[in-house]
Structure 1
Amino acid sequence: MSKLSEQDIEKKLLRLPDWEYFDNAIHSEFEFENFKDCFSAMSRIAFECEALDHHPNWTNVYNVLTISLSTHSANGVTKKDFELARAIEQIVEPEED
């Protein structure tokens, strides 16, 4: 998987307004009602990570989940990171029909 250019990353981020690019990764932070809701989302995200065989750098403090995505083997951001970011968005903020 090849590393994306900064231009490609910025263009893709237009579709993910809750994410930012810095320090060679894309980052987002999500706040939940409480720890239980945050941990529940992390558990659902973990299943998606395993399915995609791609794992985030993340931290959780009480009701806040902070996520950084990059592809270590490419030494930067790839399409795989955006695929996981979109899946995370669907888990954390599902679109209502």
Structure 2
Amino acid sequence: MSLMKDENIEKRLLRFPDWEHRNNSLYAEFEFDNFKDCFSAMSRIAFECEAQNHHPKWTNIYNVLKISLSTHDVDGVTEKDFKLAEAIEAIVEVQD
């Protein structure tokens, strides 16, 4: 997997309005109605992460989920991160 250039990342992010390029990673925050809904989304995301063998840095405080995606092998953003971001978007969208 090859490291993406900043300009390519910014172009791709136009399709991901919830995400931004921050500290060599894709970053997003999602707010849910309550802890239960947030944790439910996290559980579904976890199964997708396992399926893709790609795991985010994330934190959860009550109803807010913060996610940071980067490919550790290249210390930055790759296609792998966008693929997982797309799957996360689909999971979170279902929760709305």
Class of the TM-score when normalised by the shorter of the 2 chains = over 0.9
**Secondary structure, counterpart of 2:4 in structure 1:** coil
Runs of 4+ displaced beyond 4 Å: none
Paired residue for 1:2? 2
What does 1:1-97 correspond to in 2, within 5 Å? 1-94=1-94
Cα-to-partner distance string for 1:37-78 (whole Å, 9 max, x where unaligned) = 000000000000000000000000000000000000011000
Work out the percentage of aligned pairs sharing the same amino acid.
Answer: 69
**Secondary structure, counterpart of 1:73 in structure 2:** coil
Cα-to-partner distance string for 1:15-50 (whole Å, 9 max, x where unaligned) = 001100011101000000100000000000000000
- CA RMSD between the two structures: 0.5
State the alpha-carbon separation in 2 of the partners of residues 83 and 56 from structure 1.
12
The alignment's TM-score, normalised by the length of structure 2, stands at 0.96
State the alpha-carbon separation in 2 of the partners of residues 8 and 52 from structure 1.
22
State the alpha-carbon separation in 2 of the partners of residues 44 and 66 from structure 1.
15
Aligned length: 94
